[in-house]
Amino acid sequence: MATPAPATPSPIDVAFPPLDRYADGNSGVPYVWRYEASRAGPNVVVQALTHGNEVCGAIALDWLLQHDFRPTRGTFTGVFANVAAYRAFDRGEPFASRCIDEDFNRLWTSDVLGGSRQSAELARARELRPVYDNAHFLLDLHSMTDKCPPLALCGRQRKGFELARAVGVPETIVIDAGHAAGRRLRDYAFFDEADDPRNALLIECGQHWERTAPLVALQATLRFLRHLDVADDAFVDEHLDPVDPPPQRAIEVTESVTIGTDSFAFALPVVGLTVIPARGTLLARDGSRDRDALRRLRAHHADAPAEARRDRSEARTRRRARRGPLAGHVSRPGCRLRHGHCPSHHRTTTLWNGRDGRATAPRLAPSRLRERLPQRGMR
């Protein structure tokens, strides 16, 4: 399944680390390395390569392992997840190696993992499942197709938000419930249970291959390990950026919109964390289909950052949808637009107040989406 390429391909400004040296692992699972301290403490997992072309996490994890990082208490486990997709990377078609058969990050329910369906990603997920079942804390490192400021995706529970705040980077925290096409690892089982102390955080570190993305991944990882008190202070201090990060803000995803036709096209350029300043702005057209459904959607605050998520729900799909008038790429039917962030292979827009097949800018009160910790939807 290929990811739609952006209108302007991004240069590949990072070196891909050789991972063959990690193939055997030391935990009984290929590409999984586990180290245990003499002192009791949490089981901490840092994961790279949930998607094969999102290399920044692999660079950061490789750096940690090459610097002989060892926990001061508890256990540290480094996971290179979808290595098969990573090894299939082709600079001539760099977006095609997100996965082999299907999205590794849409499999995380008991029904899917315990079902009869087979794929390369499911086989690897089932192999790695005991690692996550034994984890107390998980950091899942990702990157995005288009240029966008880094984002922390904390899920819908208060504990996830508090973990994102404690890590302190990146600047923008996104509160959302995940994907309709399948559950993310970040939302797997107890990670999404309000009363369970086990916790997970997904960080989008920037565009896949921009030079700063691995730096964001490493700084976030160091801060994550420091917060959990499993890293030697001198080690962290030596490598942590001494400049204090900017204050964080939270954006809540409140509703989603589903694209219904191949004729969908944005009506204006869209960039991650774009603000739509004026009410009534035409954002996109989706042909003449489903006018009633568009009309039923509630619009949102006009000054809120607006992004979109497109989530492809079927495996092995390589069909490229028709490009819209903005030279952007358009996803096929079944993809989702989400108000609140632009992770992975997504572009930006807001929720719609549709009339006659048109999408317009928000019209509701600011309380629907606010740059602070929302009380609604979090426990």
Mean pLDDT of 45-55: 98
| E runs forming strands in 137-248 | 137-144, 151-153, 172-175, 199-207
Residue where a domain terminates, one of 250, 269, 289: 250
Percent of the chain with pLDDT over 70: 73
For residue 26, count other CB atoms closer than 10 A to its CB.
Answer: 11
Q: Where are the alpha helices (DSSP H) in 240-352?
A: 291-296
pLDDT at 128: 98
Model confidence, pTM: 0.77
Is 36 found in the same domain as 84?
Answer: yes
Is 283 found in the same domain as 243?
Answer: no
Is 364 found in the same domain as 258?
Answer: yes
Is 331 found in the same domain as 222?
Answer: no
Mean pLDDT, all residues of the chain: 79
Whether residue 157 contacts residue 175, with contact meaning beta carbons closer than 8 Å, is answered with no
Q: Roughly what angle, to the nearest 10 degrees, separates helices 213-227 and 158-167?
A: 110
pLDDT at 353: 28
pLDDT at position 274 over 80: yes
Q: What is the pLDDT of residues 247-270, one digit of tens each?
A: 999 999 887 777 778 888 888 887
Is 195 found in the same domain as 279?
Answer: no
Mean pLDDT of 224-236: 98
List 153's β-bridge partners, or say none: 174, 202
pLDDT at position 166 over 50: yes
Is 56 found in the same domain as 156?
Answer: yes
pLDDT at 297: 36
Mean pLDDT of 112-121: 98
pLDDT at position 104 over 70: yes
Report for 140-154, 264-278, 309-323: range of highest mean pLDDT: 140-154
In a domain, 4, yes or no: no
Instruction: Give the residue numbers spanning the domain of 133.
Output: 20-250
Is 57 found in the same domain as 136?
Answer: yes
In a domain, 11, yes or no: no
Is 223 found in the same domain as 264?
Answer: no
| E runs forming strands in 172-239 | 172-175, 199-207
CATH at residue 27: 3.40.630.10
- In the chain, the number of structural domains is 2
In a domain, 14, yes or no: no
Residue where a domain terminates, one of 195, 215, 250: 250
C-alpha–C-alpha distance, residues 237 and 226, integer Å: 10
The pLDDT confidence band at residue 52, using thresholds 50, 70 and 90, is very high
pLDDT at 366: 31
Percent of the chain with pLDDT over 90: 61
pLDDT at position 309 over 70: no
Q: Where are the alpha helices (DSSP H) in 45-92?
A: 56-66, 83-87
pLDDT at position 352 over 60: no
Is 229 found in the same domain as 159?
Answer: yes
In a domain, 360, yes or no: yes
Q: Bigger pLDDT: 323 or 262? A: 262
Is 373 found in the same domain as 339?
Answer: yes
Mean pLDDT of 277-286: 83
The pLDDT confidence band at residue 20, using thresholds 50, 70 and 90, is very high
In a domain, 13, yes or no: no
In a domain, 228, yes or no: yes
Q: Which residues contact 350 (CB under 8 A, 6 or more apart)?
A: 276, 283, 299, 300, 304, 306, 339, 359, 361, 362
Q: Where are the alpha helices (DSSP H) in 76-119?
A: 83-87, 110-113
Closest CA to 222 of 233, 213, 207: 233
Is 261 found in the same domain as 194?
Answer: no
pLDDT at 4: 52
C-alpha–C-alpha distance, residues 16 and 242, integer Å: 27
Mean pLDDT of 195-211: 97
pLDDT at position 325 over 80: no
In a domain, 374, yes or no: yes
pLDDT at 356: 34
Is 158 found in the same domain as 50?
Answer: yes
Pairing between strand 249-252 and 305-306?
Answer: unpaired
Whether residue 163 contacts residue 84, with contact meaning beta carbons closer than 8 Å, is answered with no
In a domain, 8, yes or no: no
Q: Is 340 left (phi over 0), alpha (psi -120 to 50) or beta?
A: left
Residue where a domain terminates, one of 196, 223, 250: 250
pLDDT at position 211 over 80: yes
